[in-house]
Amino acid sequence: MSKNLSKIGAVFFVAITIILLLVYGNPNAPPIIEDGKLKLVADKDIKNSNINFFKNNDKILIFDPFRMQIKYKGEFKRIFEYASNITLFNGNDSKKVEVEGNKIIITYFNDQKDPSEIRIIFDMNNNSLTYKIEGNFSNLTKFEQIIYGYSFGSLNYKEFITPSDDVIKNEGNESYTWQAGIQIPKTSKNEQLMISNETMLNVSGNFTSIWNSLRYQMSWPYVNPNETITIKVQEPVKINLTKTGLSLRIGENLNAPLIEFYNESKKILIFDPFRMQIKYEGEFKRIFGYASNITLFNGNDSKKVEVEGNKMIITYFNDQKDPSEIRIIFDLNNNSLTYKIEGNFSNLTKFEQIIYGYSFGSLNYKEFITPSDDVIKNEGNESYTWQAGIQIPKTSKNEQLMISNETMLNVSGNFNKIWNAPMYQVSYLYVNPNETLTIKVQEPIKINLTQNYPLTVSTSSTISDGIHIYKNGTQILSLSPWEAIFKHDGRTQNLLNTKKYDENYPNKLIFNYNNSEKITKISEIKQNNKTIGYEMNVSWINESMDVQEVGFNIKIYENKSYAEIKYIYRTKNAYVNLDPLFYGISFDKNKFKYVKVVRDSEITGNIKRNPVENEKKGYLNFAGCEQGKACDKIIADQWFIDKGDKTPEKAVEINGNFSRIEHYFTYNLVRFYMNDFKEPLRIYAE
């Protein structure tokens, strides 16, 4: 009897247990929600925070609260990590997991914190998973943004298609940001696709941006508070995309005003109104900086973006300012982007120049080719200036090429000047008002440049401009008309300066800007009817004065790394005495850290001189015949580049029949006195 009662009791206990499990569930079982082939599995243990998403028992996504973030009171904060001190919650706080039908709610909470509670809510229905983050905040108005993070590492996704139809291959270590906002051509999609051989996920929401990191195998969709994202699981289908080609994108928040230029999914240039400048009423002014007090417009002014077909117009305006309005206009057509700046000015005649700036940082450009075919490597801390104007060898190009492994940009316009700065990863292109810039996007091709002339020499029609000598796009020195100094009938006179200077200091100038004309003549140097070089005469002329012409004669030769320079001068008659005193040459003391004067005795090895370091201030004086010493002829002046721990590298050597050399490091100036000015000054670039 007792045995039967025991059996009956055991059966009754099992039955009650089964009923309780059916009614209340197994308290130790992991929280799971399922819908057909889909399953989401969480864990009640606070140490185990990952939530895994399955299709047919194969994992297709991983959700980790450490990857999820909210922006609250101006700071981004991750939600949870057990051993972390940088997350909102950690192992010292509480966690609970609830299942309500097809919904899992994971809550982290601590009444002593703000927010005191964060809830991660997943809801599964109709082959879709909705994903929401909400919380309890002491100041709900300071809850600004949500980042829904998820991981796809080792889950075999091949590619992603962003809302702009950019196709991103899941390979390499790149990261890609898609920015919601205003775009040409227009797009209205709000979904990203993730594609593998077995599955396609359609991730949709009112995204402000999406960051896909192939390096970390993560995606972070950014949304505003109260926004959810939905992940629809589909069988993979063939996607027929029309290639987007070129697109231009800007965020709707013009306080962060970067304009990004894309070729399909690849960012190829960045435009920033802070880098763009105009010259108005004699001053260069940047266009916009939100918190700036040096820009034409800032966060206190008005802004708008308009799209008209393939044209984007960004306008900054304030009726109380002059200019009252600046418009940046981009027009996208036929693989090219045109770029124009215009405005409303109270005095349009005082609008003098535009600087079109753009950035290429981290966009993998290897080199640039200037309109003079100078090749500039995108490396180091140098800056390079190309100056339009009169040049030998002659050039008629008005384009600069930017070359990477994937892209070649042809940037064209009527440039006055181009400044390329690998140090800052920016280019600035100077043009006159009403001139536009055109950026044509091409596949990279092999460029065959014939660098027959290692040196280029240029000047401009501007009367005050001197002569500039370049080696492969880098200016190595310049000759200033102010530092061309002569003895004129016993008076020491500079070649050129302003009319005001001439009036204030009588008999100190040969010419001023108002009483002379600048004439430049270029001719070919021929040998056996073949051009072997070029000759440039740059002169300042007034036929009515005692001194009628003073200037420079410069020669360069094919395949020769030197230039020859001589003064040219002409007087009214033989009774006017005019003799050169020295050549004044400007150099960059930051580029050429060391100088060395080579004397005749060094050739025989009697004296060993070390390079003399250029001080920020200072003066060095070398004479061929110094008082109390035997004459020791000066052969050359050598300029060196600092190579750190290595021996300084000689970059420039200036040869001539010198009687004296004076270095003025304070003024970046060297004066070369000649024994015979009929002999040329020869400048070698190594």
| Domain 245-449 of CATH type 3.30.300 | no
Residue spans of the domains in the chain: they are: 1-25, 31-236, 245-449, 456-585, 587-685
Residue 129 has pLDDT above 50, yes or no: yes
Evaluate if residue 10 carries a pLDDT over 90.
Answer: no
pLDDT for residue 6: 58
Helix (H, G, I), strand (E, B) or coil at 603: helix
Structure confidence at residue 13 (pLDDT): 55
Q: How big is the chain by its Cα radius of gyration, in Å?
A: 36
- CA dihedral defined by 654, 657, 659, 661, rounded to 10 degrees? 0
Distance CA 184, CA 332 (A): 8
Nearest to 33 by CA among 155, 125, 150, 151: 125
Q: Give 605's pLDDT tier (boundaries 50, 70, 90).
A: very low
pLDDT-above-90 percentage for the chain: 63
Model pLDDT for residues 418-460, shown as the tens digit of each residue: 999 999 999 999 999 999 999 999 988 776 555 678 888 988 8
Evaluate if residue 11 carries a pLDDT over 70: no
Q: 460 with 519: CB under 8 angstroms? A: no
Distance from chain centroid for Cα 225: 33
Where does 498-632 show beta strands of DSSP type E? 509-512, 517-527, 530-541, 547-557, 562-571, 578-586, 594-599, 612-613, 619-623
Tell me what pLDDT residue 4 has: 58
497, 512 contact by CB (below 8 A): yes
Residue 615 confidence (pLDDT) above 70: no
Q: How far apart are CA 592 and CA 641, in angstroms?
A: 5
Tell me what the pLDDT averaged over the chain comes to.
88
Q: How far apart are CA 439 and CA 427, in angstroms?
A: 13
Instruction: Indicate whether 28 pLDDT > 80.
Output: no
pLDDT average, residue stretch 84-91: 96
| Per-residue pLDDT tens over the stretch 308-364 | 889 999 999 999 999 999 999 999 998 999 999 999 999 999 999 999 999 998 899
Q: Is the pLDDT of residue 617 over 80?
A: no
Q: What integer is the mean pLDDT of 273-301?
A: 95
Mean pLDDT of 508-520: 95
The CATH fold of domain 31-236: Beta-galactosidase; Chain A, domain 5 (2.70.98)
Report the SS3 class of residue 405: coil
Question: CA-CA distance, 211 to 216, in Å (whole number)?
Answer: 11
Minimal CA–CA distance to 273: which of 287, 285, 256, 283? 287
Question: In the prediction, which pLDDT does 175 show?
Answer: 87
**Residue 201 predicted with pLDDT over 50:** yes
Q: What pLDDT score was predicted for residue 240?
A: 63
The pLDDT tens digits for 229-275 are: 999 999 888 776 555 578 888 876 666 678 999 988 789 999 999 99
Among 142-151, 197-206, 386-395, the range scoring the smallest mean pLDDT is 386-395
- The pLDDT assigned to 81 comes to 96
What is the reported pLDDT for 192? Answer: 93
